[in-house]
Amino acid sequence: MSRTNRNWDGYRLVVEARLELPDGQVLKTSEKHEVIDAVDIGSAVVDRPGRIAHSPDFASVRWADGRLYTFTPNQRSIISILWQAALDGTPDVSQGYLLAEIDAEQSKMSLVFRDHPAMGVVIRRSSECGGPAGCYRVDLANSA
């Protein structure tokens, strides 16, 4: 069995791990990491504006302007596809492909992301960025 704990010790991230081996031995380790570029917001420490990041399942995305966006499961799947396409250097993905990948009942991206504040900021129509019509992208290159 293994266990990892992470907690904040002032402005240091403390990572402690404990691993129990089959022969009964216990291995322990502890690392301390200095937090260089963070701000305290309540009990959470987050990156300063200018850097974008996402949670492992894309439930939330912190954009370059510092805003945090949260997404439904279908929206998360779309963000994940668009993010990977952007990282691969092929940022434009067709609306039809995106909707088919999530088995959407909706016929348009605007319905999947109805009234979502990330539309036009995190998720953009490719045609607004010089790309093909009918496609969307996460414009990582111009996020600042």
DSSP for 28-77, please give it: EEEEEEE--SEEEETTEEEEPTT--EE-TTSSEEE-TTS-EEE--HHHHH
Kindly state the DSSP code that residue 3 receives in the 8-state scheme: E
Report the distance separating Cα 86 and Cα 106, nearest Å: 24
User: What are 74-94's pLDDT values in tens digits?
Assistant: 999 999 999 999 999 999 999
Residue 41 lies in a domain: no
At residue 20, the pLDDT reads 76
The count of domains in the chain is 2
Count CA atoms closer than 13 A to 18's CA, side-chain side: 6
pTM, two decimal places = 0.65
Domain that holds residue 112: 49-142
Residue 136 lies in a domain: yes
Confidence of residue 2 (pLDDT cuts 50, 70, 90): very low
Residues 96, 68 share a domain: yes
